[in-house]
Amino acid sequence: GAGVSQSPSNKVTEKGKDVELRCDPISGHTALYWYRQRLGQGLEFLIYFQGNSAPDKSGLPSDRFSAERTGESVSTLTIQRTQQEDSAVYLCASSLASAITYEQYFGPGTRLTVT
């Protein structure tokens, strides 16, 4: 079946511009996660959505970052007034609520370059 998809695959933007990154999770997956991975580094958690519960925003690095999720489907990560340090691959993952161990399925990521 279809996996997690993300768009765009690559985004180049000028410093100070706003960007929106999109994630389409696997159908039926109620949990959705955003991570960031800077070049040569590990994954950093950003935000977590679970069904209709309030999202866990504890990983967002600043108030320039926000995310929304429409029901149990698409999510959008927005970065306002982008800075060069925002350059990274942004990864989205989803998982089933009924899975005991909640395996996460990752998308291919969006590579963001801020010039």
Residues near another protein (CB under 8 A): 4, 31, 33, 35, 42-43, 45, 48, 50, 56, 59, 91, 93, 95, 97, 100-109
On whether the CB atoms of residues 50 and 28 are closer than 8 A, the answer is no
* Closer residue to another protein (CB): 4 or 67: 4
In the block, which residue shows the tokens 């955003």?
34
* Closer residue to another protein (CB): 93 or 114: 93
* Closer residue to another protein (CB): 19 or 32: 32
Least Cβ distance, residue 68 to another protein (angstroms)? 18
Closest alpha carbon to 6 in 94, 96, 103:
94
